Amino acid sequence: MAVDTTPATPAGQSAAQRPGTASRLRLLGSGDAVITGVLVLFLVVAALSVEGFASARNTGFLLLDVVVIVLIALPLTLVIVTGEIDLSVASTVGLSSAVMGQLWFAGLPLETVIPLCLLLGAVLGAVNGFFVTRLGLPSLAVTIGTLALYRGLAFVVLGDRAVADFPRSWTTWAISTIGGTGIPVVVVPLLVLVLVTAVVLHATPIGRSLYAMGNSEDAARFSGIDVGRTKFWLFVVTGVVSALGGVYWTLRYGSARADNAQGLELQVIAAILLGGVSIFGGRGGLLGVLAGALLLGSVRNALQLENVPADVLNIVTGGLLVVAVVAPQVAARVRNRTRSRPAGPPSAPPARPATDPRPSTDPAVQVPADQRGNR
Amino acid sequence: MTSFLTRRRLQGGVTGFAVAALVLTTAACGGTTRGEEETTSGGGDAAASANPDAEIPEGLAVGFLPKQVNNPYFSVASAGAEAATGEFSGEYTETGPSEASASSQVSYINTLSQQGTDVILTSANDPNAICSALDQARSAGSSVVTFDSDTDPECRDVFINQATTEGIAQTQVDLIAEQIGGAGQVAILSATANATNQNTWIAAMEEYAATEYPDIEFVATVYGDDEDEKSFQETQGLLQTYPDLAGIISPTTVGIAAAARYLSGSEFKGQVALTGLGTPNQMREYVQDGTVQSFALWNPEELGYLAAYAGAALAAGQITGAAGETFEAGELGQYTVESDGVVVLGDPTVFTAENIDDFDF
């Protein structure tokens, strides 16, 4: 457990507690708008030109494919906003799936197995959080380690077996749809979680503190935020949600395996980055992440329907990601150049480039934190 | 104050989440345990009757979904399936994931189903994970033929078995025994740890060797995940770990080729025997340079060819997947459906320096 070392300063308090409502709304940001626009445009084009794309059945297939990605992207977005990363999410999915299979095989009721899996997820997340916040190790290194460690443990638990005799009522529920709409039932609880996460990130002091940490950890600490403790709990939540993803994954495919969701972490991170979240922290919004995940899913779905080979598909999604990361940088650079040519009044504060991953160590960084989201 | 608030709220959030999850999961019902629920058959239509004289309709849409694309073995099987589809004037598509994972096949099955494919030919990465997707495809009107790796029999109409488990296991054990003189340490280089086929064969090989060749000791099974580089490294690892290793059996085409490449460039060439399941084209140079004496495989082209004809027979209504039904598979002749909807292709072929040049796949 992190110890509260920083006494709250009045300055930090007032800065954190008085954000303008307008700026809070604008936090949803232009990056979100761009990616959402691209998504809508793509959906329209695909619906008109790809045979079989715009049907209730296909919508169901598409959504089922992105459910776990969106689910894990929720807490992981918060982690990335604080400037950290968790690469062990897919291995946590695999380990919780393996444990779920083993416990079910041992005869425990599912109603006990599932909470135990979530608890396991909390422990796995706490291990990541402990190494990152208490020992001060870089999260990239820690979670590359636990990525391998948790996957290895999954194979220790279940070996090369697959447990597949889950009750049909549960596995059918996992893929059932709401009436004839094609929309999977699980989308409803998922939307609730999306809403909760969006409110936490965009409309609470916690959310603002996450952006503050991502912009400057020192400044956040000076303004009275317990950085270590907040990050620790973020890792715990990520672990729990990933484990929940593992439980769902197991029911959705009706098969508990140690190699479930291998490589999924990259798909989740790709969706988050495509959604306009800065990998350096401090920037991005949840709407964009949602759009990013749906865009990646829709592109794959539409191209598959057009019989595009898997290799080309990987090239397209990879290229899309590179464009998504590079385009805002180029745009910002162009904007800066055109802005700096006509010399502005020297007294005006210089516009900070939007691409700058790290702001200056300005103690009052929380206000810029809001402004940066506005660009 | 801020930090206090933040912490309290976050902790509150976590607790709330955990409580909500507990409530949700426990409220579902009193307790669902294993073996309690009767599993019911999914989407099968065993009641339908077969008409052996039915014509194969023209323009059948045949979709071929291997475990993964860019796998030479499946490319050959695909060529066979495509040839057969051409013979009965169908439309052929090949699709598939770039990585051999259970779940990745599901979205491809959904796509084929959405495209209105009449016949789905697939080799399963997991016997159960693709079941619900196949059930959905079947209830939407597709006929499902599995080949190479089966699913749960409830989820498909017919399974084309390349050869019986016993036939494959015994051929490989006999080959390695012949090469190492019936005694010594043998290791197995397999595909993925969950591969249905390989696991069944390995179990059968160990059983057969225990009775027929008691002096052969199986020291390890390692997994190259059907990746060339990993299989290469696992071979290297085996030879370092077991200095007295007499032979390696690799019951997967990717594995045996990688192992042969390692052996041919190492001091163990000709010292450590290698056999298993490989394709003649991949193994030709290692047979010619003496690294490998003999290996086996059924003809995957015939496997794909037979699978496509079985799919067409299903779509035409010539067979329903019930035991005893017969159908014509082009130039391969007549086949009979056995119990559980299984159709057996035949015995594996053994390739040696003498006959390898007769084959091109």
Which three-class secondary structure state does DSSP give residue A229? helix
> How does pLDDT run across A270-319, given as a tens digit for each residue?
999 999 999 999 999 999 999 999 999 999 999 999 999 988 988 998 89
The Cα of A171 is separated from the nearest Cα of chain B by a number of Å equal to 9
CB contact under 8 A, A107 and B34: yes
Disruptive mutation site among B23, B103, B192 for chain A (greatest number of A CBs within 10 Å): B103
Q: Which CATH architecture has domain B165-297?
A: 3-Layer(aba) Sandwich (3.40)
More confident position, A160 or B266: B266
**Long-range contact set of residues B2-5: C-beta below 8 Å, sequence gap at least 24:** B2/A8, B2/A12, B2/A13, B2/A16, B2/A17, B2/A205, B2/A209, B2/A223, B2/A224, B2/A225, B3/A4, B3/A6, B3/A8, B3/A224, B3/A225, B3/A226, B3/A229, B4/A4, B4/A8, B5/A205
Which of A115, A172, A205 faces B6 most closely, judged by CB atoms? A205
Distance from CA of A343 to the nearest CA of B (A): 41
Contact predicate A204/A84, CB 8 Å? no
- Contact check, Cβ <8 Å, B103/A261: yes
Give the CA distances from residue B98 to residues A90, A257, A288, B65, in Å, rounded to whole numbers and listed in that order. Answer: 18, 19, 28, 11
CB contact under 8 A, A61 and B114: yes
Distance from CA of A291 to the nearest CA of B (A): 20
Contact flag A233-B11 (C-beta cutoff 8 Å): yes
To the nearest whole Å, the CA of B313 is away from the closest chain A CA by 25
Residue in B with minimal Cα distance to A247: B25
pTM score above 0.80: no
In this model, does residue A350 exceed pLDDT 50?
no
Please give the C-alpha separations between residue A91 and each of A68, A258, B209, in angstroms, as whole numbers: 13, 9, 37
Question: Which of B26, B39, B114 comes nearest A305 by C-beta?
Answer: B114
Q: How high is the pLDDT of residue A58?
A: 93
Q: Chain B partners of A8 at a C-beta cutoff of 8 Å?
A: 1-4
Per-domain boundaries in chain B = 61-162+300-345, 165-297
Per residue of chain B (361 residues), give pLDDT as tens.
444 444 455 555 555 555 554 444 444 445 788 876 544 444 444 446 788 888 899 999 999 999 999 888 899 899 999 999 999 999 999 999 988 888 889 999 999 999 999 999 999 999 889 999 999 999 999 999 999 999 999 999 999 998 888 889 999 999 999 999 999 999 999 998 888 889 999 999 999 999 999 999 999 999 999 999 999 999 999 999 999 999 999 999 999 999 999 999 999 998 999 999 998 999 999 999 999 999 999 888 899 999 999 999 999 999 999 999 999 999 999 999 999 999 999 878 899 999 998 787 7
Instruction: Name every chain B residue with its beta carbon within 8 A of the beta carbon of A168.
Output: 37, 39-40, 42
CB B339 within 8 A of CB B159: no
Q: If you measure CA to CA, which chain A residue comes closest to B28?
A: A111
Do the Cβ atoms of A222 and A233 come closer than 8 Å? no
Chain B residues with CB inside 8 Å of A233's CB? 7, 10-11, 14
- CA dihedral (A70, A73, A75, A81) in degrees, to 10, reads -140
Nearest to B111 among A16, A169, A305 (CB): A305
Give me the domains of chain A, ranges plus CATH numbers. Answer: 11-338+363-374 (1.10.3470)
Measure the CA–CA gap between B196 and B131, rounded to whole angstroms.
15
Domains B61-162+300-345 and B165-297 share a fold: yes
For the domain spanning B61-162+300-345, the CATH number is: 3.40.50.2300
Which pLDDT tens digit goes with each residue over A118-159? Answer: 999 999 999 999 999 999 999 999 999 999 999 999 999 998
Residues in chain A within 8 Å Cβ distance of B130: 253
Mean pLDDT of A244-262: 94
Q: ipTM score of the complex?
A: 0.77
Task: Tell me the count of A-B CB pairs closer than 8 A.
Answer: 193
Q: Do the Cβ atoms of A225 and B3 come within 8 Å?
A: yes
* Residue count (chain A): 375
pLDDT digits 0-9 by tens, A46-91: 999 999 999 999 999 999 999 999 999 999 999 999 999 999 999 9
The Cα of B19 is separated from the nearest Cα of chain A by a number of Å equal to 9
Q: What pLDDT, on a 0 to 100 scale, did the predictor assign at position A10?
A: 39
Question: Hey, are the CB atoms on B26 and A111 less than 8 Å from each other?
Answer: yes
Q: CA of B287 to nearest chain A CA: how many angstroms apart? A: 32
Distances (CA, A) of B229 to B97, B223, B226, B257: 19, 12, 9, 11
Yes or no, beta carbons of A206 and B10 under 8 Å apart: yes
- Strands (E) located in chain A: 162-163, 256-257
